[in-house]
Amino acid sequence: MTVTDKDCVVGIEYEVKEAGTDTVVDTNKGSKPLEFIMGTGQIIPGLEKGLTGMKQGESGDILVPASEAYGEYNEEAVQTLPREQFEGIELKEGMTLYGQGQNGETIQVTVKSFNDNEVVVDFNHPLAGKDLMFTVTVDSVREATEQEKQTGEIESDEHCHSGSCGCGH
Residue 157 has pLDDT above 70, yes or no: no
Residues 6+ apart with CB under 8 A from 38: 3, 4, 5, 6, 7, 8, 9, 10, 48, 51, 52
Residue 83 has pLDDT above 60, yes or no: yes
β-strands 34-37, 8-18 pairing: antiparallel
Residue 12 has pLDDT above 50, yes or no: yes
Q: Which fold has domain 75-122?
A: Thrombin, subunit H (2.40.10)
Residue 164 has pLDDT above 60, yes or no: no
Residue 131 has pLDDT above 50, yes or no: yes
Which pLDDT score, from 0 to 100, does residue 5 have? Answer: 74
CATH class label, 8-70+128-144:
alpha beta
Global pTM exceeds 0.85: no
Residues of the chain with CATH 3.10.50.40: 8-70+128-144
Which pLDDT score, from 0 to 100, does residue 4 have? Answer: 87
Is residue 48 packed enough to be buried (19+ CB in 10 Å), middle (13-18) or exposed (0-12)? buried
